[in-house]
Structure 1
């Protein structure tokens, strides 16, 4: 039984169609059909029901699919690892990154490039829990810096730091001189937040909900940088992670603490548990864990 036939069978199940699978594999439909028939002859049992109009696996076909999918994933990890180990220090290192980590991570890159100047670093936005998992297990990234604690048998999440959220406001706003800011104070203020489906925004909204407080949300913005622009223009105030707003603030802006036990978050480095990395990638992970 060869790996090619497993790939063909996996694609056929994935697309639920011989014609669609053949197109995705860039082979003819008869070639795909013959490969699956050859596979069934090797096993000496049918894998796909051919007596119904709807695509359906036999019981054995379902078991074979689950096992072959696991073997294909293991092979792809091994293939990737060996190629990366062979390249040594001429790699493209791909990392998922939350926006709030950009400033401190730039210092990590400076330190890293002094030793591994031949490696290329590619940063990718990863905003949702499932996206992070898919990116790691699909080998699209080597690691992810995320504020999502992923509990998964195949993924390791290491705590990097805990940070509070702070309010971002103009210096001439009443909050700038207010002695103590609580969530109740936001009810009459135009609040600018990120998109509700993002983890950061969801946590902020949950903090208001836990305090039984309804904030006045004026704007929902996808990027933190745009939120800063709107605050600077006097269109409202925002609650943002402390790491994001400690650097590169314009002269007219300032941050203040918010007194709430709910407004803080953890940031993690997530990687695949059983993946083997070259020394140059492990060094980058080490710098991430020590320089945040």
Structure 2
């Protein structure tokens, strides 16, 4: 039994079709069918039911698929790690990044470039819990900076920092001269918020619910940058993470603290527990840990 046949079997199960799998593997369908038959001969039992029109695995096939999938994942991880260790200081580092950490991470890059000027850094949006987890497990990223605490046997979540939420207002808004802002003050104001399925927005809405306050939500926006534009145009106010709005604000915008002990959040660095990284990536993680 060799790894190539496992790859072929895994693709066949994934696409639930010999023809689609063969196309994805760039081989002929007869070659794929023969490889699977050879694999079944080596095992001594069929893996795929051939008595029904619908694609279906045998009981042994189901067990073999789960085990072979894990073996393939381990092989791909070892192969990737060895290639990165061999390249050392000339690799592409891929990171998932929440929008609010962009400025802080730019400061990390400035320091990192002094040490490893040849490494390329690619940043990827990871906004949903499942997306973060899957990106790590699929080896699409080396790490993720996220406000989601991922609890998983294969993933390590390290607390980077805790930050409060602040209210973002137009300079001419009455809140600019208000001594203290509470959630009750939001009931008469047009609130601009992120999409409810995002962790940040969900947390803010949960705090409103806890305080038994119904906010006057007028806009739901996907990107923080667009929220800033609407606030600057006087279309409403917003509650955003402090680190996101602490730098490079337009002169027409101001931030003010909100008096509420629950309006804050944790930000984490998530990585695969058993993944081996070259020194250049470990150094980047070290700088990220110090960025809060």
Does TM-score exceed 0.5, indicating one fold?
A: yes
Find the aligned partners of 1:53 and 1:69 in 2 and give their Cα distance: 25
Aligned to 1:257: 257
Map of 1:246 onto structure 2? 246
Cα deviation code 1:110-134 (max 9, x no counterpart): 0000010010111111101111111
Match of 1:76 in 2: 76
- Structure 2, unmatched stretches of 5+, are none
Q: Distance in 2 between matches of 1:244 and 1:50?
A: 57
Q: Does 1:99 align with 2:104?
A: no
Q: Tell me the equivalent position of 2:201.
A: 201
Structure 2 residue aligned with 1:282: 282
Q: Distance in 2 between matches of 1:153 and 1:291?
A: 26
For residues 54 and 210 of structure 1, the distance between their equivalents in structure 2, rounded to whole angstroms, comes to: 51
Range that drifts further, 230-239 or 18-27? 18-27
Distance 1:215 1:26 in 2: 55
Query: In the alignment, which residue of structure 2 is the partner of 1:109?
Result: 109
Moved more, 82-91 or 179-188: 179-188
What corresponds to 2:32 in structure 1? 32
- Quote the Cα distance in structure 2 between the aligned partners of 1:49 and 1:86: 43
Match of 1:174 in 2: 174
SS at match of 2:290: helix
Equivalent residue, structure 2, for 1:220: 220
2:191 paired with 1:191: yes
Cα distance per residue 1:180-203 (max 9 Å; x no partner): 211111111011111111111111
5+ residue gaps in structure 1?
Answer: none
The corresponding residue for 1:64 is 64
Q: Distance in 1 between matches of 2:35 and 2:9?
A: 8
Post-superposition offset of 1:256? 0.9
1:52 and 1:261 mapped to 2: Cα distance? Answer: 61
Instruction: Number of aligned residue pairs: give it.
Output: 292
SS in 1 for 2:86: helix
Counterpart check, 1:138 vs 2:138:
yes
Report deviation, 1:262: 2.2
Q: Runs ≥4 in structure 1, deviation > 3 angstroms? A: none
Give me the whole-angstrom Cα distance separating, in 1, the residues matched to 2:23 and 2:212.
Answer: 54
Q: Report deviation, 1:23.
A: 1.2
**CA distance in structure 2 between the partners assigned to 1:263 and 1:51 by the alignment:** 60
Distance (Å, rounded) in 1 between the aligned partners of 2:87 and 2:125: 26
Contact kept in structure 1, 2:160 and 2:291, CA below 8 Å: no
RMSD: 0.8
The answer to whether residue 46 in structure 2 is matched with residue 46 in structure 1 is yes
Shift of 1:261: 2.5
Q: Secondary structure at the match of 2:267?
A: strand
* Residues 161 and 267 in structure 2, CA contact (< 8 A), matched pair in contact too: yes
Q: CA deviation at 1:291?
A: 2.3
